[in-house]
Amino acid sequence: MLNYIKSEFYRNINTKGNYIFLFGFMAFACFLNIVLGTFANNDPSFRYGSTAFSFSSFYTCMTPIILICLVFVSLMCSQEFKHNTLKNSISYGISRSQIYFSKFFVEIVIGTINLVLISASYIISAYIMLEDSGILHFNYLIRAIVACIPLFLVGVILAHCLYFIFENEISVWTTWIIIMMVIPKILSMLGKKIVVFNKISSCMPINIMSTYTYQEGSVSVLMSWMDKQVFIKCFVVGIIGTIIFYTLGLVLFKKRDIK
């Protein structure tokens, strides 16, 4: 299995799409702060040229980032499924369990590196281009990233699971969006009337990321994961979700006929 993991790293390191993904998002992260800095330098009355605004914009908008998890896994997996190389790997005696785990492990390692580099480019460019507002919002941003990592992991493993279940990429994307985006919103609406649905919806990754309140006496936003209990819930949800989707994908992959 170790050799297969090494081959997966080698394949992804030599895939142009992965570099376009990484450097594209790093450039976009820097671009956002460059735009804010440019406006602030040209207009002294511009109120948003600070790290406080930049960092708060990041940690209050974590929801779109989970969509990037789907794009990331698509880059990592879709080409191999299209080229039917899995059949060759199985014919060489590599078990389906080893293939499934190895690809997931490589996704987690490369995904973590991407998250660190993209976040670092955003933070560094903010400090270079914008007025430093102090440590408070930086701490909030780091806490947000840490809290959301296990939730991002659920998005990654669900996409990973679906690519091993479905042959059609459209089916993967559609199912992922329904599970991660549509169902939680439906549960939220039902939760306004039925308590049990409200409890279930509060454990959905997308709902945890998007839940916030306004701090009393100010316009400051308090995200749900700023609360210690919700912060812990992020890890509990991440662990449980990862186990469920990992197991589901592996079981169904073993039953799938590889053509």
The confidence score (pLDDT) of residue 176 equals 96
Return the number of other C-beta atoms located less than 10 Å from residue 242's C-beta: 20
Model confidence at 84, in pLDDT bands (50, 70, 90)?
A: low
**What HEC string does the chain produce?**
CHHHHHHHHHHHHCCHHHHHHHHHHHHHHHHHHHHHHHHHHHCCCCCCCEHHHHHHHHHCCCHHHHHHHHHHHHHHHHHHHHCCHHHHHHHCCCCHHHHHHHHHHHHHHHHHHHHHHHHHHHHHHHHHHCECCCCHHHHHHHHHHHHHHHHHHHHHHHHHHHHHHCCCHHHHHHHHHHHHHHHHHHHHHHHCCCHHHHHHHCCCHHHHHHCEEECCCCCCEEEHHHCHHHHHHHHHHHHHHHHHHHHHHHHHHHHCCCC
The confidence score (pLDDT) of residue 80 equals 66
The confidence score (pLDDT) of residue 216 equals 56
The CA distance from 136 to 175, in Å, is 39
The confidence score (pLDDT) of residue 219 equals 46
Max CA-CA distance within the chain? Answer: 67
The CA distance from 232 to 229, in Å, is 5
The CA distance from 141 to 57, in Å, is 9
Q: Which residues contact 34 (CB under 8 A, 6 or more apart)?
A: 125, 129
Q: Tell if the pTM clears 0.85, that is, is over it.
A: yes
Least confident of 34-48, 87-101, 205-219: 205-219
Least confident of 29-38, 73-82, 139-148: 73-82
The confidence score (pLDDT) of residue 123 equals 96
Check: CB of residue 184 under 8 Å from CB of residue 210. Answer: no
For residues 43-57, give the mean pLDDT: 89
